[in-house]
């Protein structure tokens, strides 16, 4: 394994916990599934979440390149944007967030609370893009303009999901494997949200590297299974290329797009049930955009028998709880 420079942002290792009350709630025919959680909502930095791990590599690369500001993209309630803004603040860098107003039919809190509020608190400059605008083209123009002004911007893609950022989740999977071994947990299934694809790709690369006989189920929050599969597969290839290694095995790439609903960031009844069930059984907060839909996917897999009750399931909590405060109308019933 090549050693690469990182800054320190996350509190690691994150907890690995059993969820006995959730497991009991899903008992069927006197059989109780064994559900565990990898708590990357507990990375600690700027409200926690999975992007802290990715940013450790990405910010180190930015500093090494001599950058004096970070530029990234996302939706208005982007968890990645929030943590990027905080990482920039910690390292004395400027931060520009290009946030797309692409989630329709949301209340006032969506544009004033949650991650948006925290972005402002961390001192980021924010430019809001209309849903009709080409965010990739605007990002390229913005980078060129900043460079022409004498700035030294470093661009981070949506979700921090390039090969370097995704590499952090190869590391995270190896961290989980060690914890599971210590706790006597033989992992049969890992379930996680799949958005920009980097977390899923890194975990898949780690599974392949460690030779674990488990299945990784990505619950898509924004794309068709076909589109998500192409993104994740490409990133796995890029991770191995970055490390200068060949893929000796290839884990199954499972994508479930049944929980997307009306679209990215749009609530569903299954998501609402999952968020409330987790809160009321384990006292753990999920979010409406990513982990709520991923947990809805896990519940469906268990209830329809796709995952057998005798198998061990790890739900990878990627954080995002600040987003709850942007959706008060969904839970105030």
Q: Domain end: 160, 187, 222, which one?
A: 160
Both 174 and 78 in a single domain? Answer: no
Both 298 and 247 in a single domain? Answer: yes
Both 43 and 185 in a single domain? Answer: yes
Q: Could you tell me which residues come within 8 angstroms of residue 194 by beta carbon, excluding any fewer than 6 positions away?
A: 200, 218, 219, 220, 221, 228, 232, 255
- pTM of the predicted model, to two decimals? 0.96
Both 207 and 73 in a single domain? Answer: no
6 part of a folded domain: no
25 part of a folded domain: yes
85 part of a folded domain: yes
Question: Which tokens belong to 5?
Answer: 């420079």
Both 152 and 130 in a single domain? Answer: yes
Both 129 and 170 in a single domain? Answer: no
CA dihedral 139, 322, 88, 159 (to 10 degrees): -40
Both 174 and 278 in a single domain? Answer: yes
Both 151 and 300 in a single domain? Answer: no
How many C-alpha atoms does 215 have within 13 Å on its Cβ side? Answer: 17
Total domains in the chain come to 2
Which of 300, 293, 301 minimizes the C-alpha distance to 317? 293
Give residue 1's pLDDT. 42
Report yes or no: 222 and 260 within 8 Å, Cβ to Cβ: yes
319 part of a folded domain: yes
Both 262 and 290 in a single domain? Answer: yes
Both 197 and 226 in a single domain? Answer: yes
Q: Structural domain of residue 104, as residue ranges?
A: 51-160
Q: Domain end: 160, 195, 230, which one?
A: 160
Which of 91, 85, 108, 80 minimizes the C-alpha distance to 6? 91
The list of the chain residues with pLDDT below 70 reads 1-2, 333
Catalytic residues: 78
Q: Return the beta strands (E) in the chain as ranges.
A: 16-18, 34-39, 69-75, 94-101, 125-130, 153-156, 189-194, 215-220, 254-256, 312-317
Both 292 and 177 in a single domain? Answer: yes
What is the CATH number for 302? 3.40.50.1100
Give residue 333's pLDDT. 66
Both 153 and 209 in a single domain? Answer: no
Q: Domain end: 160, 187, 202, which one?
A: 160
5 part of a folded domain: no
């Amino acid at each position: 394994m090549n050693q690469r420079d990182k800054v320190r942002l996350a509190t690691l290792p994150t907890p690995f916990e059993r969820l006995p009350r959730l497991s009991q709630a899903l008992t069927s025919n006197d059989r109780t599934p064994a559900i565990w959680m990898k708590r990357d909502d507990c990375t600690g930095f700027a409200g926690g979440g999975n992007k802290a791990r990715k940013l450790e590599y990405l910010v180190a690369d930015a500093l090494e390149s001599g950058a004096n500001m970070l530029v990234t993209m996302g939706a208005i309630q982007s968890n990645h944007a929030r943590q990027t803004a905080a990482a920039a603040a910690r390292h004395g860098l400027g931060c520009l967030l290009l946030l797309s107003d692409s989630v329709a039919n949301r209340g006032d809190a969506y544009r004033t609370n949650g991650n948006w509020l925290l972005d402002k608190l961390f001192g980021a400059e924010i430019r809001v893009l209309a849903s009709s605008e080409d965010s990739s083209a605007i990002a390229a123009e913005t980078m060129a303009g900043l460079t022409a002004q004498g700035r030294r911007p470093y661009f981070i893609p949506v979700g921090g999901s390039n090969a370097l950022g995704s590499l952090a989740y190869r590391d995270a999977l190896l961290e989980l494997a060690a914890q599971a071994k210590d706790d006597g947990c033989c992992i049969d299934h890992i379930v996680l949200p799949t958005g920009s694809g980097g977390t899923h790709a890194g975990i898949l690369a780690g599974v392949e590297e460690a030779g674990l006989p488990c299945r990784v189920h990505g619950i898509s929050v924004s794309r068709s299974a076909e589109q998500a599969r192409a993104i994740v597969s490409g990133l796995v290839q890029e991770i191995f290329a970055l490390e200068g290694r060949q893929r000796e095995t290839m884990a199954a790439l499972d994508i479930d797009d049944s929980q997307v609903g009306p679209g990215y960031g749009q609530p569903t009844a299954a998501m609402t049930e999952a968020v409330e069930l987790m809160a009321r059984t384990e006292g753990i907060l999920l979010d409406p955009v990513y982990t709520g839909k991923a947990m809805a996917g896990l519940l469906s897999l268990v209830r329809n028998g796709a995952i057998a009750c005798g198998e061990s399931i790890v739900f990878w909590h990627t954080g995002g709880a600040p987003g709850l405060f942007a959706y008060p109308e969904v839970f105030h019933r």
